[in-house]
Amino acid sequence: MPTITGGGRRRRRALLWIVVLALLVGGGSQVGAEEFAAEVPSEPGAFSERMKLEEKGEGNPFAITTYKRNYLIPFSYNASANQRTTSGAGDSVDRTEVEFQVSLQFPLVDNLWEKNGRLFLAYTNHSWWQAYNKDASSPFRETNHEPEVMLEIRSGWHILGFDVSSFTFGLVHQSNGRSGTLSRSWNRVQGYLFLERGPLVLALCPWYRIPEKAKTGPDDASGDDNPGMEKYLGYGELIAVYKLGEQTLGVVLRNNLRSEGNKGAIELDWSFPLAGRFKGYVKYFNGYGESLVDYNSSSNRIGVGLLLSDLL
């Protein structure tokens, strides 16, 4: 009987995510049209409303469209701060730091397939700044850079009472721009299947990590910076966002789907109106993979700050 290697198991788990996504996409139109026609939402969902607003802004040459959340959290407290993988701050890493994210998207080709598709670039910068660590000269502890190129296909399909608003897939690179033993990076093929029903939006996000060769030594810049990342981040995530009036509730779930050495993460988000376009933002994270440098170290973090742009 043939032996299944660790690499084979990883590929099977990744392919399982992709097959599930393909079945949902391929079967969505027939299932929705025949079996669940009576459950089709009568009004556009929250995600469709966001896409309409994005289309209006893309015609403005002075406007840049947001992608993921944009926020500033001046007080972000990590009860289990990772001391081992921080350069510059030494062993005096403060548990409280500043966290912020900037995320933008740029259209490349619009109106594909009779205005049902588009090609776009996106970039997300997620940073953790030891602003209050005066003993270590307030260094930036970690910054993750994440450029993407994505193809979005919009649909009018329906499944289980949800609108299948769009399917997006493409290539993603993520790195922390550091060298030596603290260098972290990976490349992946990633997809999003967006389902919506009124104020509720679900996103199934599988990915497949593009394999890299093993490092020949600690100073080998061309080898794998983070072997075994799938053991901590898994092969995808499930995102749920609910728009409750002017408030937004969100949850992100990840799991490596392993019976032995099971690991995952959960993120909870709450945004609420403050003044003008600014919102208050509360974010809680527990688990692995909060940042690249901490991908194999569990974090337990809560933060309060300002949200500049929301998901819905």
Active site (catalytic) residues:
173, 175
Contact 148/120 with Cβ under 8 angstroms?
A: no
- The rounded distance, in Å, linking the Cα atoms of 200 and 214 is 42
Sign of CA dihedral 214, 216, 218, 221: negative
- The rounded distance, in Å, linking the Cα atoms of 77 and 57 is 36
Buried b / exposed e across 246-261, counting CB within 10 Å, b at 16+?
A: eebbbebebbbeeeee
Q: Is 19 exposed, middle or buried (0-12, 13-18, 19+ CB in 10 A)?
A: exposed
- The rounded distance, in Å, linking the Cα atoms of 33 and 50 is 25
- The rounded distance, in Å, linking the Cα atoms of 106 and 296 is 32
User: Which residues on neighbouring strands pair with residue 286, listed in sequence order?
Assistant: 266, 300
DSSP 71-111: EEEEEEEETT---TT-SSSTT---SEEEEEEEEEEEEEEEE
